[in-house]
Amino acid sequence: MSGAIVLLSGGLDSSTTLGIADQEYEDLYALTFQYGQRHDKEIECARKLAEHYSVEEHKVLDIPLLEIGRSSLLKKGEKIPEHGDDEIGEDIPSTYVPARNIILLSYGLCYGESVDAEAIFIGANARDYSGYPDCRPAFYETFEKMSEVGTKSGVEGSPLEIRYPLIDMKKSEIVEKAHSIGVPLKLTWSCYKGGEKACGECDSCKLRLKGFEEAGLEDPIEYE
- Between 144 and 219, CB nearer to a second copy: 144
Residue closer to a second copy (CB basis): 23 or 68: 68
Among 69, 81, 123, 211, binds a second copy (CB under 8 A): 69
By CB under 8 A, tell whether 223 contacts a second copy: no
Q: Which helix (H) or strand (E) holds 4?
A: strand 3-7
User: Segment 119-138, which members bind a second copy (CB under 8 A)?
Assistant: 133-134, 136, 138
CB of 53 to a second copy, least distance (A): 19
Strand-pair category, 119-121 with 57-62: unpaired
**Stretch in the footprint of a second copy (CB under 8 A) among 19-27, 39-47, 153-161, 164-172:** 153-161
Q: Is 167 in the site for a second copy (CB under 8 A)?
A: no
Question: Residue 31 in 3-state DSSP?
Answer: strand
Q: How far is CA 90 from CA 47, 96, 130, 141, in A?
A: 34, 13, 6, 21
Residue of 102, 216, 222, 224 that binds a second copy (CB under 8 A): 102
CB of 222 to a second copy, least distance (A): 33
Burial 151-176 (b: 16+ CB within 10 A, else e): bebbeeeebbebbbbbbebbbbbbbb
Distance CA 129, CA 106 (A): 22
96 binds a second copy (CB under 8 A): yes
**Distance of alpha carbon 6 from alpha carbon 17, whole angstroms:** 7
In the complex, the residues that contact a second copy under the rule CB under 8 A are: 31, 59, 61-65, 67-71, 92, 96-103, 106-107, 109-115, 133-134, 136, 138-139, 142-143, 145-152, 154-156
